[in-house]
Structure 1
Amino acid sequence: MSEKKIDIIMDDPACKTERTSPFFRQLFAITGIVMYMTGTGANIAYPGVLLEQLRQPNSAVRLTVEHESWFASILGLALIAGICVAPFSLQKLGRRMSNQLSSLPALGGWALLITAKDPYTLLIGRSLQGFAMGIQAASGPVSIAEYSAPKYRGAFLATIAFSFALGMLVAHIFGTLLYWRAAGIACGCFYIISLVFVSLSPDTPPYLASMGKFDACKKSFRWLRGYDEGSEKELQILLNSQKKKPSIPRVSKFKMYTEIIKKPEFYKPTVIMMFMFILFQISGMTVVPSYTVPMMEEVTGNSIESYTSMLMVDFVRFGTAILACIIVNKLERRTVLFTGIYISVVSLFLTSFLLYLRDYGYIPDEYRWTPVIPTLVYIFGKTLGILPIPWAIAGEIFPLAYRSLGSGISGMFLSIMFFVVVKTAPTSFRQIGVKGTFGVYGICIAICGIFLFFLLPETKGKTLYEIECQFKGIKNEDVQTKGEKDKMLELEKVEEG
């Protein structure tokens, strides 16, 4: 959509009335990203149904065990390429165009998948999907955070977890009911919907301000947030913070990046996000949907039909993701995260213990399904805390000046861990079983949780500008505040002083 048409939408008199509330305009703007993330969830879960169908004797495409592990894990390698492109794309092209462009390789990947006649075409299609996911992994949380008012930001960022869970559920339902090619067509539709919504939305106000496009920033901000006094104050702070940026002398890129990594407002959030994304992957967030069927066959002891147990996991994940959208906006980020970590660690250890007891004959045959209970509790715990919080923090923790670079570097760790964890999972299941693998995951989650306990600050209820000031070491304990918007004004005065 042309900039002129977007301006017409944003200048619509309806935007200045209660008929179109800021909440719904912000919801409209993030819907394109939510649809994209739903497609991402479907991407991650798709191997769980595709591989089962390709193992059938009459399959049109035959895969070896090595092909299967690469099919599930190659997304992680391709993510790295997308992550490398993301900082440039976010900075030079903007959030909106980055979101638009990331849909194209995703759609191309699905087109190759549904027409594939050999393993290598499948792998190329997955690589295109992974590349697109890499761009979106950086641009999605940043875009949602920059579109959202502080009071909605937590819930909107939690929709990433909801989207993943919805996509996984939909992919598994489609894969259970449909042939894998038809299921692929259905999953690819999410990206078409995403492209439409993104194209009808403006770019984010912080990005426009950072590029000196102040008139466009005003239009975008007022379309999203309305014209009330509090919003106008926040807009003025955003504009002033960018207009007053000191001019940076031309230096070599090496020296520039060296100076950046020394800044606490850059390296502290980066280290936090590294641990966040290690936690995200080592908790089995992408392994479980990729290998749900074989995993649940061992957990249930074949006492429950494999596709039934897979859908049980999906429905628990989906229901918990809906709950997380509410919880994240009500409770502090740290409370939600560490509650999820505690539940996940305890339930993983309990599942592992029960599987060992069953293998050694201490659990009667009629109760061999018992490990299913702590496994579902584990799905609940990680979906409640470990799934939504890293993405919520990723969207709000980096300062505007380094948001593109910081998102790219932390996303690199996400990509590497994605590949390592998913690629090694089949070998781990064969060598030490689900019981041993769950035990290892539980230990790793606990270690990450300890580090984050000491590193992670609380961000709930704070504006993006206030979070930035916190990492810069700007204090405002001695200032009495009357509300969030006043607090932002006072922080700006402290920084200027």
Structure 2
Amino acid sequence: MVEGVNYRKQRVPPFLRQSLAVSGVVLYMIGTGANIAFPGVLLQQLREPDSALQLTLEHESWIASILGLSLILGIATAPFSLQRLGRRLTNQLSTLPSMGGWALMVAAATPETLLISRTMQGFGMGLQAASAPVSIAEYSSPKLRGAFLATIAFSFATGMLIAHVFGTLLYWRSAGIACGSVYLLSFILVSLSPETPPYLASRGKFNQCRKSFRWLRGYYHDSEKELEVLLNSQKMEVTEVITGKSRLQNWVETAKKPEFYKPTLIMVFMFVMFQISGMTVVPSYTIPMMDEVTGRAIESNTSMLMVDVVRFVTSIMACVVVNKLNRRTVLFLGVIISVTSLFLAAVLLYLRDLGFITEEYRWIPVIPTLTYIFGKTLGILAIPWAIAGEVFPLAYRSLGSGISGMILSIMFFVVVKTAPTSFKEIGVNGTFLVYGICIAICGAFLYFLLPETKGKTLYEIECHFKGIKSDRADSGEKDKMLELETMEGG
């Protein structure tokens, strides 16, 4: 027993408290999914002859891709914000430019105004892209962390589905109001949650850390042991930081540490694979892509909603699968399904173009295409966000999340901006082949780089990258870590 602690049960169980803390971030990520997918319906409506705004093809590609550029600004700001202002305030601030962007879009009268509104949305998304996995991981207990982190994939899929449904049923301005309202709910829920315990401990606010930790995890014997491990490890970090070295020297030393560069390299490959798999291209250009895949045998909006439903149902499945199976198993299962399906869809499209598939069966490529959506949603969408919240040590979590997020945003812009040209020059079949090859290459590197993180505490993962065995950590920590798996509800 840890002395001085009253081991009492709370009226609200830890699971519900952690769910409340995570829900504000989850709602924001629903808004992110809507941001990414909204051009799929917005551009379709603006192509109508009587549209209030007339766009060129160049306008269209910039409206879909400019999120990637503005993401860079948000992500560049994120490490400072996460480290200086904290996770909670960063989450709150990230909702403001996003709400402003949707409001400006609803009132837009020119293409330039649309571009400005998308830029504001992207800046908020950049802050949140770095903050979301960190916040969810730090709010969650080890046994719930996988499921909570998998809700990021669910949130993306839900937001994309909402944007496409609203955009199909409503005029785009009305649909924008509905999508933008998600951020107001996010702001309210984030404001009801405390700051994360690891951040408070990293800033030397140990009493506030205890209060926040116990609010989230309850007063249980095993959770108190984890709390003491957290506090003791951060007390040592605070002591080590006071060295009198310059900031440049600290950065150089940080870059040489395996617990920093190994997770960073892993996340670079993760997020390159995430984007090159078509994760943001498909929702942005669903209708033209599916028109090509189905040979226009299926009505455009129907094929778009088919993709959204498969993605949505799979993301629900991923929340369960990620918490039950090893992270590596889920990731590489998704990689294998995605690569196989992309290659098969490309071959079928080539055969159809050559006349080997009759007009009656021209829709056949839709089967491997939907299988590809299933595979990438299950593994390539869900696992990178789960891993992003786990692999970085607390001392470098803000910086590492910022660097990997920067790669994510650059790839977002490059892949989405070049997609229309790629579809035009090499066709959807050629684009599928390129995506499949790139996924296979990234997956091969990750097979050798990525450790298993399921069921481990954040401190145990940090020890792995440092090359420290649990029995070489501070005296008694091994027994404490082993007992964390039996935590009650927390």
Residue of 219, 233, 240 corresponding to 2:232? 240
What's the counterpart of residue 105 of structure 1? 97
**Structure 1 position 332 matched with structure 2 position 353:** no
Residue of 373, 381, 385 corresponding to 2:375? 381
What's the counterpart of residue 166 of structure 1? 158
What's the counterpart of residue 262 of structure 2? 268
Matched residue SS, 1:437:
helix
Report how far residue 248 of structure 1 moved: 2.6
2: CA distance, partners of 1:461 / 1:55: 50
Contact 1:169 1:314 (8 Å CA) reproduced: yes
Report how far residue 477 of structure 1 moved: 7.3
2: CA distance, partners of 1:243 / 1:73: 44
1: CA distance, partners of 2:384 / 2:48: 38
What's the counterpart of residue 250 of structure 1? 244
**Structure 1 position 30 matched with structure 2 position 35:** no
1: CA distance, partners of 2:470 / 2:255: 25
**Structure 1 position 124 matched with structure 2 position 116:** yes
Letter paired with 1:108: G
Letter paired with 1:391: W
Contact 1:234 1:485 (8 Å CA) reproduced: no
Contact 2:463 2:470 (8 Å CA) reproduced: no
2: CA distance, partners of 1:441 / 1:238: 42
1: CA distance, partners of 2:15 / 2:28: 20
Contact 2:471 2:478 (8 Å CA) reproduced: no
Contact 2:28 2:186 (8 Å CA) reproduced: yes
Report how far residue 487 of structure 1 moved: 2.7
Report how far residue 256 of structure 1 moved: 1.4
Report how far residue 251 of structure 1 moved: 2.5
Contact 2:8 2:220 (8 Å CA) reproduced: no
**Structure 1 position 428 matched with structure 2 position 422:** yes
What's the counterpart of residue 3 of structure 1? none
Give the RMSD, CA atoms, in angstroms: 1.8
What's the counterpart of residue 291 of structure 2? 297
Report how far residue 483 of structure 1 moved: 11
Matched residue SS, 2:125:
helix
Contact 1:45 1:290 (8 Å CA) reproduced: yes
**Structure 1 position 186 matched with structure 2 position 178:** yes
TM-score by length of structure 1 reads: 0.94
Matched residue SS, 2:194:
coil
- CA separation of 1:477 and 1:340: change in aligned 2, threshold 3 A: farther
Matched residue SS, 1:387:
helix
Report how far residue 18 of structure 1 moved: 5.0
- Residues 428-449 of structure 1, C-alpha deviation per residue, up to 9 Å, x if partnerless? 0011110000000000000000
What's the counterpart of residue 303 of structure 2? 309
Letter paired with 2:188: V
TM-score by length of structure 2 reads: 0.95
- CA separation of 1:478 and 1:244: change in aligned 2, threshold 3 A: closer
What's the counterpart of residue 278 of structure 1? 272
- Residues 40-95 of structure 1, C-alpha deviation per residue, up to 9 Å, x if partnerless? 00000000000000000000111100010000000000000001100000000000
Contact 1:463 1:488 (8 Å CA) reproduced: no
What's the counterpart of residue 469 of structure 1? 463
2: CA distance, partners of 1:323 / 1:226: 29
Report how far residue 242 of structure 1 moved: 1.2
What's the counterpart of residue 142 of structure 1? 134
Contact 1:37 1:164 (8 Å CA) reproduced: yes
Contact 1:462 1:484 (8 Å CA) reproduced: no
2: CA distance, partners of 1:156 / 1:75: 26
**Structure 1 position 197 matched with structure 2 position 189:** yes
Letter paired with 2:211: K
- Aligned-residue identity in percent: 72
Letter paired with 1:97: L
What's the counterpart of residue 494 of structure 1? none
- Residues 211-256 of structure 1, C-alpha deviation per residue, up to 9 Å, x if partnerless? 1111111110000000010000011111111112224323222221
- Residues 432-487 of structure 1, C-alpha deviation per residue, up to 9 Å, x if partnerless? 110000000000000000000000000000000000000000024799xx998623
What's the counterpart of residue 212 of structure 2? 220
- CA separation of 1:367 and 1:221: change in aligned 2, threshold 3 A: same
- CA separation of 1:178 and 1:321: change in aligned 2, threshold 3 A: same
Unmatched runs of 5 consecutive residues or more in structure 2: 1-5, 485-490
Contact 1:465 1:488 (8 Å CA) reproduced: no
- Residues 321-376 of structure 1, C-alpha deviation per residue, up to 9 Å, x if partnerless? 00000000000000000000000000000000000000110001000000000000
2: CA distance, partners of 1:332 / 1:96: 29
What's the counterpart of residue 457 of structure 1? 451
Contact 2:222 2:483 (8 Å CA) reproduced: no
1: CA distance, partners of 2:208 / 2:392: 23
1: CA distance, partners of 2:140 / 2:279: 26
2: CA distance, partners of 1:50 / 1:92: 37
2: CA distance, partners of 1:428 / 1:16: 61
Letter paired with 1:292: T
Contact 2:229 2:477 (8 Å CA) reproduced: no
What is the correspondence of 1:479-490 to structure 2 with a 5 Å cutoff? 486-487=480-481
Matched residue SS, 1:369:
coil
Residue of 90, 103, 114 corresponding to 2:82? 90
Report how far residue 201 of structure 1 moved: 0.3
2: CA distance, partners of 1:27 / 1:431: 47
- CA separation of 1:119 and 1:478: change in aligned 2, threshold 3 A: closer
What's the counterpart of residue 230 of structure 1? 222
1: CA distance, partners of 2:244 / 2:160: 47
- CA separation of 1:423 and 1:348: change in aligned 2, threshold 3 A: same
Letter paired with 2:135: S
